[in-house]
Structure 1
Amino acid sequence: MIAYNTTGLDNAMINDQSETELKRGNITATEMAAIRTAFPEILYTPNFFIRIGLFLLTVVIAICVLGLMMLVMMAGINETTAGGMLLFFGVCAYAFLEMWWIKDKDHFRSGIDDALIWISGASVLTGFIVLLNLDTATSICCLIICVIAAWMTIRFADMLMALTAYISGIAFVFFFGFEHSALAADLMPFIIMAASLGAYLGFSRLSGKYAYRHYENCLDALRSASLITLYLAGNYFVVREVGASMLHKTGPVPFGWLFWIFTFAVPALYIYSGIRRKDRILLRTGLILVAMVVFTVRYYHSLMPIETAMVLGGVLLIATAWIVIAYLKRPRHGFTYEADETGEEMAGLKAAEAVIIAQTFHKTPQPDDSFKFGGGTGGGGGASGEY
């Protein structure tokens, strides 16, 4: 379902990983040249600064075109025509992106396609909202955003669009419950926790599969986001403050002891599971959420001035990071500070290795003709009279 040329994506992945291995000294320049010959670059991906420039240029051109369209229609413009124009502009931008820049020009992360993804998505979303007279329920707006962002993620494997789709999906569940059921509003922390856990398990099943190799960055981001929303849904501070804001409830939170246990236990569980399973996402998410634990405790129980707490916490984190990095300079118990090789990288290197072998042994060895039998005229086993 991805819009980009999959062969070009695979070739780019193999070349990128091969360059990494060349820098590490695992392959030679000759082998790197053989890989580039066997897997040529098909897609256009400029450097970071050119990508930013093309992104900004595309945004400026799109704004000018949309402004010109609005200016032409200004005489008889109303909500319906404005919404229809935005929808038309968004669909045209999307078609221009797919048919011209991707299918014909083979752009990938060039800045132009990045800009058109967001321009088309924002135009279609705004057009829908305007056509619905701006009175659409919050949950419906979240659902529209989720559908648009999910489609953009499927077609273009954009990580920010993937996060937008997930956050808007969780927001849809949240606001839909508050808008339609008092019981769902009371049980919302548990509903969000169940939805986040289900999302994490689903994304984990897809991650690492060959068919979804081009979505690996999106899946990693979605796994991290689902772990964070799972924790936030049970964090005592979030539950209490959101309840006070949305339900106008003050005072102690029902089953507050359960949410306090959740606040402390989940980051520790993430860290333990990350270490045990050697999962970077679990480990990093758990370490980040330790800060949320400190904030929650500090908000309700002040032990020292905030300046002192921040300085001590920073010193402790820096010291801990330095000790761990120094300890893991040499691999220990399956852990190392060195950059790891993910499954996607290993798949690319295996393909490159196969090409290197094929390039090395593509010629059939020829027999050495420097020594020849024969030449005799009698029955002397091939010996000549000149012996």
Structure 2
Amino acid sequence: MIAYDKTLLDNTYLVEEANNLKKSGFIDSAQCKTITDNLPTLNSQNNLLIRFGLFLLGCLLYSSICGMISLFAISFGQDTYKILIYCFSFIGIAGLEFMSRQNKQLGYGLDDAFLLGAQMLFFVAIGISTNENYLAVFITIAIVSTISYLRYLHLSSALLACIGITGSVAYLMFELGTLGKSILPFVMIVFSVLLYFLSEKALPRLKFPYYSKGIQLANGFSLILFYLSGNYLVVRELSILLLNNSIPATQEIPFAYFFYTFSFIIPVFYLIYSLYIKEKQMLWIGFLALGFSIYTIRYYYHILPVEVALTVGGLILFAFAYFSIQRIKHKENEITFLPDRFSNSNSLFNTELLMVTAQFGIKPEVETETSPMEFGGGGYSGGGSEGTF
């Protein structure tokens, strides 16, 4: 199923782990160099700026190929554009297969352009062929993106697969009419819970480590979807949009107290439970969800002026951070404030040092090399440092 050579793929992940261990201080540069020199890997691009540049180059190349074919196909009439879109999609897959097998590229930039271009064109072709049947389009997105991720291991395909599955469930509920749209928040809550537990069960049972990042992405996607499905602002605004009802500001939606409670309990639960299970992804999602919950309340109820609310909120966060740091800064296990060995804890210090150096022209102190010949003592043939013969 995987398009890449299994040996090169294994080596690529081993080299990536070796680089992470070197950055964390578990192995030195010599050991890391020994590993990287002895293991041939796939062609990947870790520099995001260069990868984005190659992505743009790939988009230009792909569009040039499609444009050249379009020029030759004009003479066949305007009705051929439906077939051409399918052809363009297959051309993108063919180019991606060539890059994966012959050029051995994984996450290089060029392959990203061909994969995303082929997928988007195929989705557009399905939409045109089905007269904009969104349910068919989202089902196609879910199936094609899942197969693409299983074969090419691009995280963009994993994200599209999550969006496609979620959209398919939503449009299935739309087919039920007003009843389906009314119970949509509860259905999405149940769906996100199922997706979370499926991803949690799948992670420890993986036979291949290649798919771990995609499953972690699906795990984070389920946490975000679970919160947004019960957020008061999202539910209220979507109710107005989907049911074509104008709800006055003084009128509440059904189950309003449930959605109010949900909007604040879930972020707090994310924060507490993530600290309990030591899950960093859930912790960050919890912080973002809590901030969006505060925005949700302020969107409808302006209790305090903006400047007062920001000041009070800043003081509360400062107090919470200060006392938390004082409590855990000397702990060496569980929840601790000690630097993470898998992150570059000196990055801020290095940035500050660079700014000071650039501002004041401070140059690092250079130690002069000492001469290998030691002087002093002068014991013969003339006066030395002691003035003796």
Superimposed CA distance per residue, residues 232-263 of structure 1 (whole angstroms, 9 cap, x where no aligned partner)? 11111111111111113323211211111111
Q: 1:128 to 1:225 in 2, by over 3 A?
A: same
Q: Are residues 1:215 and 2:215 paired?
A: no
Q: 1:11 to 1:330 in 2, by over 3 A?
A: farther
d(CA) in 1 for partners of 2:123, 2:315 = 46
Deviation, structure 1 residue 102: 0.9
Match of 1:184 among 180, 183, 207: 180
Q: Assess if the C-alpha contact under 8 Å between 1:94 and 1:120 holds in 2.
A: yes
d(CA) in 2 for partners of 1:41, 1:306 = 57
> Is there any run of 5+ residues in structure 2 with no aligned partner, and where?
344-389
Deviation, structure 1 residue 325: 6.0
Aligned counterpart, 1:20: 20
Q: Are residues 1:45 and 2:41 paired?
A: no
The range that moved more, 179-188 or 269-278, is 179-188
The range that moved more, 9-18 or 181-190, is 9-18
Deviation, structure 1 residue 187: 1.1
Q: Which amino acid aligns with 1:187?
A: I
- 3-state DSSP class of the match of 2:192? helix
d(CA) in 1 for partners of 2:5, 2:335 = 36
Q: Are residues 1:125 and 2:126 paired?
A: no
Aligned counterpart, 1:273: 273
Q: Assess if the C-alpha contact under 8 Å between 2:25 and 2:341 holds in 1.
A: no
d(CA) in 1 for partners of 2:148, 2:194 = 22
Deviation, structure 1 residue 179: 2.9
Q: Assess if the C-alpha contact under 8 Å between 2:146 and 2:158 holds in 1.
A: yes
Q: Assess if the C-alpha contact under 8 Å between 1:45 and 1:109 holds in 2.
A: yes
d(CA) in 1 for partners of 2:25, 2:242 = 58
d(CA) in 2 for partners of 1:324, 1:10 = 41
d(CA) in 2 for partners of 1:57, 1:43 = 20
> Is there any run of 5+ residues in structure 1 with no aligned partner, and where?
343-387
- Work out the number of aligned pairs and report it: 337
Deviation, structure 1 residue 333: 4.6
Q: Assess if the C-alpha contact under 8 Å between 1:82 and 1:127 holds in 2.
A: no
Deviation, structure 1 residue 43: 0.7
Deviation, structure 1 residue 329: 5.2
d(CA) in 1 for partners of 2:30, 2:254 = 68
- 3-state DSSP class of the match of 2:302? coil
Aligned counterpart, 1:149: 145
Q: Which amino acid aligns with 2:209?
A: R
1:343-362 map, 5 Å = none
The range that moved more, 188-197 or 83-92, is 83-92
Q: Assess if the C-alpha contact under 8 Å between 1:84 and 1:131 holds in 2.
A: no
Deviation, structure 1 residue 115: 1.0
Superimposed CA distance per residue, residues 267-297 of structure 1 (whole angstroms, 9 cap, x where no aligned partner)? 1111111111112222221111001210111
d(CA) in 2 for partners of 1:25, 1:341 = 9
Q: Assess if the C-alpha contact under 8 Å between 1:91 and 1:120 holds in 2.
A: yes
d(CA) in 1 for partners of 2:26, 2:244 = 62
Q: Which amino acid aligns with 1:245?
A: L
Aligned counterpart, 1:94: 93
Q: Are residues 1:226 and 2:222 paired?
A: yes
Q: Assess if the C-alpha contact under 8 Å between 1:264 and 1:293 holds in 2.
A: yes
Q: Assess if the C-alpha contact under 8 Å between 2:88 and 2:118 holds in 1.
A: yes
Q: 1:281 to 1:46 in 2, by over 3 A?
A: closer
Q: 1:310 to 1:212 in 2, by over 3 A?
A: farther
1:56-135 map, 5 Å = 56-79=56-79, 81-98=80-97, 100-132=98-130, 135=131
d(CA) in 1 for partners of 2:54, 2:269 = 44
Aligned counterpart, 1:292: 292
Deviation, structure 1 residue 301: 1.5
d(CA) in 2 for partners of 1:74, 1:124 = 20
Q: Which amino acid aligns with 1:183?
A: L
Deviation, structure 1 residue 94: 0.5
Report the TM-score when normalising by structure 1. 0.79
Aligned counterpart, 1:237: 233
- 3-state DSSP class of the match of 2:340? coil
Q: Are residues 1:139 and 2:138 paired?
A: no
d(CA) in 2 for partners of 1:112, 1:275 = 40
Q: 1:10 to 1:317 in 2, by over 3 A?
A: farther
Q: Which amino acid aligns with 2:114?
A: L
Deviation, structure 1 residue 189: 0.9
Superimposed CA distance per residue, residues 306-342 of structure 1 (whole angstroms, 9 cap, x where no aligned partner)? 3543465456556755765676554445124533669
1:305-320 map, 5 Å = 305-310=305-310, 312-313=312-313, 317=317, 320=320
Q: Assess if the C-alpha contact under 8 Å between 1:208 and 1:216 holds in 2.
A: no
Aligned counterpart, 2:369: none
- What is the CA RMSD across the aligned residues, in angstroms? 2.5
The range that moved more, 2-11 or 216-225, is 2-11
- 3-state DSSP class of the match of 2:2? coil
Deviation, structure 1 residue 142: 1.8
- 3-state DSSP class of the match of 1:192? helix
Aligned counterpart, 1:201: 197
d(CA) in 2 for partners of 1:168, 1:194 = 17
Q: Which amino acid aligns with 1:305?
A: P
- 3-state DSSP class of the match of 2:207? helix
